[in-house]
Amino acid sequence: MEESRGLVTMKGKPLTLLGHRPEVGQPAPAFTCLDRDLKEVRLSDFEGRAKLISVTPSLDTPVCEMQTRRFNQEAEKLPPAVQLIAVSMDLPFAQARFCATHGIERLSVLSDHRDASFGLAYGLLIKELRLLARAVLVLDAADTVRHFQLVGELTEHPDYDAALAAARAVAGS
């Protein structure tokens, strides 16, 4: 298992990431997560669409909540060819409650809690916490990584504008 120490911190404390991060231009690794109904969802289920994937440690924290709400709001401004996905280690039941409370309707919200399939495939599983590091990825319709921002400090926001611009670019608008 590949380990990377110090690429991310939590309040300045270095953490260890598990798994291998794909580079921009490489094929996106397959993954399997659970949706709010406990149904397995795979990357291949979104075949043929560009994807913006918002990754958060836990939806029940202020920055993660704001990140998820921001991408939900931005979804209507993106071309229909872009599928927005949110991934966290939260249990599907907690995700369902969060989405109902905050009106999250435009994102496919997925839980990686069972196998950490996504976290390990994308090098985002935090060893010390068994949470995912904050990141944003954009994949084109052929599932090639076109944008990958790993946020260095878990308590900070990603670059929303860069991610949204990358999503528009891969959607051809």
**pLDDT, tens digit (0-9, with 9 covering 90-100), for 71-92:** 999 999 999 999 999 999 999 9
pLDDT recorded at residue 11: 93
CA-atom Rg of the chain in angstroms? 15
- Report residues of the chain scoring pLDDT below 70: 173
Top-tier CATH class for 3-9+48-171: alpha beta
pLDDT recorded at residue 91: 97
pLDDT recorded at residue 173: 60
Tokens 């149904």, located at residue: 39
64 tagged catalytic: yes
pLDDT recorded at residue 1: 80
Instruction: Please answer whether residues 87 and 112 qualify as being in contact, where contact means their C-beta atoms are separated by less than 8 angstroms.
Output: yes
Domain definitions of the chain by residue range: 3-9+48-171
Instruction: Please answer whether residues 8 and 17 qualify as being in contact, where contact means their C-beta atoms are separated by less than 8 angstroms.
Output: yes
- Residue 124 has which token pair? 């985002």
- Residue 90 has which token pair? 């939260």
Q: What amino acid occupies position 46?
A: F
- Residue 34 has which token pair? 């659970």
8, 17, 59, 64: the catalytic one is 64
Q: What amino acid occupies position 12?
A: G
Tokens 């289920």, located at residue: 45
Closest CA to 59 of 114, 161, 134: 134
